[in-house]
Structure 1
Amino acid sequence: MTKKKSIRLIKKNAKQGTDAYTFEIIFEGDLKELSKHNLINEQGKRYGTVEINHGKATVVLILPKFIRENNIQPFTLIDSIYLDLIKDDCEQQLKKIFGTSNLESKIKAIEVNITKRVSGNANISDVLDLLSKALLLKEQDNLKYVGQSKKCRLKEEIHTVIIKRPHYYLVKAYDKTEQMRKLGIKVSDGLLRIEIIMIERTIERLFGSKTTFQDILTKDSLVSLLREYKRIFCYEIIEDKVKKYLNSCVILLLESLCDTESPIETIAVERDLIVDKEVLRKALRKWQRMRNVSDNSSRDVELYAKKYFLPEDVVLTLHDIKDSCG
């Protein structure tokens, strides 16, 4: 793992934002059971829920929905001018529900995300495949949800990947276009969402004991969350995991090329390692240099990519998302 370092956030370039905030309400005395109750602002927008189950009260706030019709675009720094309105509206509604304004709240989970169209000729399933492989741990499996391919009904593709780092965060990457269209919302093709749901130790490190509505729903706290997203995605995921995995793929493909002396045979045998045509290109380049022949790797890989339908622009997509973190 990379050493802890100070993360600089270029606010004007940061495209990440928050979505769902989950609070626990600590209430003295008995609580009556309450099925999920919607929080609706004066503009008629449903932006949260309150639920009391087995004496435990949970409030979930979906901040983008306080100001927009849906949460395709997260709640960003530009939207922070609405934070005081959200706090006041929420607290007034909770006062009516609980019969008191003397409520103690504690943040339990916060979702931060980027939603971005995949780059170039990439498809979402290939990006999710790389993330799942690169972030796989010996201790536990990742969760993958697959469905019918949009291009061929006889094939399957990955729609969602969920990766857990227990006590710290959960990464959920999925096809946002598919999700929205199932809800009847028209959106552009190729929208990939990468969520990081921060929990327990991450929240404690960021905010210490300052975990109430008043503490968390502030611009300063929002900046801390966006900076932490950048740290996790750019350093823990991309630098520590994805880049190392890609380098390992290049090495294994090179070994296969040396054994088979045939790029076509290597593609057939080691196709799972070719998570992006660039991985194969790097291996081919090294192999051709070892054989003291002309470097035709760029030309060759384009031919192989078209002939064998190899993934492309997957690495570019992750690079562009990294740049979008500010």
Structure 2
Amino acid sequence: MSSTLAEVPSKAETKARVARVFIDGEAGTTGLGIRERLAGRADLEIRSIDPAKRKDPAARKAMMEEVDLVILCLPDEAAKETVALADELGASAPRLLDASTAHRVAEGWAYGFAELAPGQREAIAAAKRVANPGCYPTGGIALIRPLVDAGLVPADHPISVNAVSGYSGGGKGMIELFEGGKGNSFELYGLGFEHKHLPELQAYARLTRRPIFIPSVGNFRQGMLVSVPLHLATLPGRPSPSDLEAALKAHYAADGQVTVVAASPGDRLEPEALNETDLMELRVYGRGDQALLVARLDNLGKGASGAAVQNAEIMLGLDPRG
């Protein structure tokens, strides 16, 4: 899963010109969120294609030749088709940021979770192609990877990840179902143990044993909770909940988007508290030899459009303050 390197613009070059961005699939939920976040910025220009030509390969290739970055907000197969068009451009191809599932564990693509590990932000900055993380894996990986890297959780430890998301994470069909008043109050799904987010969750959490991942959806538009229960007596050294919290704090000490929040047994966590932000909160609950790790985020923010904007800023060398 190495990344293909590209020339990174210097600060002087970035100031000298405006970055040009094409959002392929800008009318979808993620595309709209990205466009809203980028609107009005003086350091970039958003290019759009004539809607009548959005499926015309020649028109799309011409657009790609004119821009610095293409953000793919497309179904997996359509994203692969766009990447194939970019391949045909050779040296004229723009950099690509793919928000689909298609390339998250693909060779030649950097994983777009800047807080993943030391050096990941630099890898994104230098990559020609970056895969935006999935919403569920963002929470799960954020909780698990630092503990694996710190040696507190073995890579082959049996891990279960539970999560609930607002219905906006299910795409157009699920949104229409729920907003049409036909959605259930709560649903478990992915009960075939083959959810499409499993490969990246396992790969970037550095787990050698396939985790159990059972997602769910609630009858609310957006917001997400991801939780990981642990029996501490089964872990090497029998770490305490405070040991786990300390490891997370050490990992995320320098980052402002991911924060470790003090947990209280009296908390009542609901998934919508971070909606319309690009933040993620991590908590560790525990008693005796049991612990629960919890991540809270907006599935359309840090879990989708917000992460894409963060990656675009890193790739283009832009000031995150706009």
TM-score, scaled to structure 1: 0.26
Larger Rg, first or second structure (1 or 2): 1
TM-score, scaled to structure 2: 0.26
